[in-house]
Structure 1
Amino acid sequence: MFAIVAALLMLGVVLGTVAHVPVPVTLVAATVIGVWLLIFAVRERQHR
């Protein structure tokens, strides 16, 4: 549960800074967060 909260918090911070950073930086950050969430989802499915 903590990982989901942390990921959403990071997503909020990144979305808040989108207007201030270049597009490639935004895309890299979005990719990192997406991969992290995907790994989390896969691990949760395997755990059950």
Structure 2
Amino acid sequence: MLFLVAALLLFGVVVGAAAHLPLPVTLAAATAIALWLGIFFARERHRSARTPKEVS
């Protein structure tokens, strides 16, 4: 629960900061974050595909 509160607080700070930045800076930051998340997703998907699943 505390993690959720901290995440929402951080989200509010980031959204508030983005409202005061120029649009090109905000779009560049959003693009960088989207690329980072895409790379992370691809690496995790590749890692889980290589790891054999345990049979329960």
Is TM more than 0.5 here?
A: yes
State percent identity of aligned pairs. 56
Shift of 1:16: 2.3
Within a 5 Å distance, the mapping from 1:4-43 to structure 2 comes to 12=11, 13-43=13-43
Per-residue CA deviations over 1:16-48 (Å, capped at 9, x if unaligned) read 212111000000000000000000000000001
1:14, CA displacement in angstroms?
Answer: 3.5
Tell me, which stretches of 5 or more residues in structure 1 are unaligned? 1-7
Residue correspondences, number:
40
Which of these two proteins has the greater Rg computed from alpha carbons?
A: 2
The Cα RMSD (Å) is 2.3
Runs of at least 4 residues of structure 1 off by over 4 A? Answer: none
